[in-house]
Structure 1
Amino acid sequence: MKASTIDPNGNADARERILIAAESLFAQKGVEKTSTREITAQAAVNVASVNYYFRSKEALAEEIFARLAERAMNMRLADLSAYMQAAESKGEPVRLEALIACFVRPYFEPTKTGQLFARFILQHRLQPSAMTKRVYDQYLDPFALEFIDALCRTDPHVPRAEWIWRYTLMIGTVVLAVTDTTADNRLATLSKGMADAARSDELKRNLTGFLCAALSGKRAS
């Protein structure tokens, strides 16, 4: 990624303004429904700037996905490292609940960009491309391997292959839950408003509780 510069007044340069505007608009409207003109207008740059700095809107989307993936990876690794060191120093077992809290945090802090991150992951699952694979190879797969190592420590009697299954199914659960948070989300529709995925605290609490129960449960025979 090209380094950004800051002018004497403290304003990010044109390239960084485009990235900030694109991330915000993609989070609000989605990549497909956001036009290049909307991005450049919000970034206060000319229309040709996207092609100049990124070659295309698709390449810009890749950089946004990479930024979100890097942000999530750094947040998770920092949390994971701090927790594992604390548990080891106290002689405590590695708790599944703490690992799941570490995993889901980037989807909720902040919520809007967390939802955008989830949509990029869903896009990779539905329509994998060279772009999404590059982001996985650089950011998501290295973290996954380290996280699976930590999961294995919560219950060494569970085979590693089984933890990989559980990890992969956890991702599917999280992504589907986090990407359905509109005002008319299915949860709110089915429950007539008693439960609502648009209420992020409620979603996070119930999602975390479900994952803890699902990942710690015995495999069905």
Structure 2
Amino acid sequence: MSTEYSSINLIFSSLYSRISGIQSGTIDYSNKVHPHHQIDILKEKLFEFDYSEALRHIDVSIKMIDEVKLELPSILHPIAFEEVFNHGSPGAWFEKKSAEKVRQDVVEIISTELSYYSTELAFLRKKVIRFIDEFETELAPMDNKIQTNLSVDQLGSLFRILIETDLLKETDKMELCRRISKTFASKRKTNISVSNLYTAMFDALDNTGFEYWSKKLPEMSGKILKIKRDK
């Protein structure tokens, strides 16, 4: 794991340590853990960063949690549990259960714990974005902004398309949104909310802006051909 995001170890080092103990039969898998403790420590760690850096840490954490949830069945391999039953000395909490049943229980318990982390981090993420919006004071003067005939959703989805098609290099999502907000005005708003723009670009699953561009791009292609003919 990259040291750049070492704060994420607060979640995963504890998690993998428990998984190792469970698989060796030395930890009672039925014991309830208190993941809020790790979240509280992580929050304190995130306060050491500026908002943009904190947001990057949260995004990486959520991505890793989602990946681990998908890989849990393979991480918690049946062979490891069978070895405890066949060659080890499992504790009383393993009694009267098959190795596969124990494994299924552990997958469910760990998955629930990871879901808790995801929910808490998603909530924290919204708060960070809101703080960024509230403290964003370096807006460009109104008369210096480029006026568009696009809604915030349409503008955000346009830049997302440019990123996804490698026409624009995205290095920092929040910084990119700040620059767009300072440079462009939407059809109805001169000062575009950074958080609204961020949501339109990276969060909204039902963003109507993408539907707009799916219809607009073919029209633009026709315009390009006309420009070439008129030259």
Q: TM-score, normalised by structure 1?
A: 0.29
Higher relative contact order (CA 8 A, sep 6+): 2
